[in-house]
Structure 1
Amino acid sequence: MSGLSPGCATRTALRDGVPDATGEQIILADLFDALSIHDWHYSVAHADEKKPKPKKPKRYPRWWEQSKPRHSPQRVAKLEDARRRKREREKAIAEGRIA
């Protein structure tokens, strides 16, 4: 399919419910990265020699580039296991086995 807007329902459904990023979002993310790197370079260049250098900034999160599925089988298994342990812990507290 071509010619569909990034926010249209058909295009979103084709990507498993994840909407496409618009051109503005992509450009703003790149601009944010460029400005934060520029600020970091400036602060490193003008930092006091006796103080530790500032950390390099993290990249702006781009949700549209996530390669992992949102509900991978491993993640679902971990969540279900955590919920099961929570239920067991609450039951043990209610029965007085643990404080």
Structure 2
Amino acid sequence: MRLRDLTSGDLTYRELSNYVRGLSPSSATRTALNDGAPEPTGEQVMLADLFDAVAILDWHFTLANSDDKKAKPKKPKPYPRWWAQQPKQRHSSQRVAKLEDARRRKREREQAIAEGRIA
């Protein structure tokens, strides 16, 4: 297959797309199309999903068989998928205001301790 076949009509864009998708996830072409980040293999995706499924099943089993009087176990965090785009955390104005207020109270508390008003 040659790229000149694309202009001559012997190769369609759909066929070219299928050829590129058929390349190995670690190929240079697929990595370049993914902004330089390597793509995960099918095995990596399946292992991450399997890890999550086993962790959830274990959590459900523990939750069902734990004493009602004791604290319930926390839901497990999903396996970190390095290939998935992480959502960017944006600080809302409320969150920023709460953080600044907490820092102000901490400074006041430290000052009161230094002055001996608080033991």
Q: Which has the higher contact order (CA 8 A, sep 6+)?
A: 1
Question: What SS does the aligned partner of 1:38 have?
Answer: helix
Q: Which runs of 5+ in 2 are unaligned?
A: 1-19, 89-119
Shift of 1:2: 2.8
The structural deviation recorded for 1:31 is 0.4
1:6 to 17, 25, 29: 25
SS at match of 1:17: coil
Write out aligned runs for 1:1-99 (5 A): 1-66=20-85
Q: Partner amino acid for 2:73?
A: P
Amino acid at match of 2:46: I
- RMSD value, Cα: 1.8
Q: How much has 1:30 moved relative to structure 2?
A: 0.7
Distance 2:76 2:30 in 1: 33
TM-score by length of 1: 0.63
Instruction: Pick closer, same or farther for the CA change 1:15–1:67 going to 2, 3 Å.
Output: farther
Displacement after TM superposition at 1:50 (Å)? 1.7
What amino acid is the match of 2:75?
K
Check 1:57–1:5 CA distance in 2 against 1; reply closer, same or farther (3 A cut): same
Pair member with larger Rg: 2
Deviation digits for residues 20-55 of structure 1 (CA, Å, limit 9, x no counterpart): 110101110110010000000000011122210000
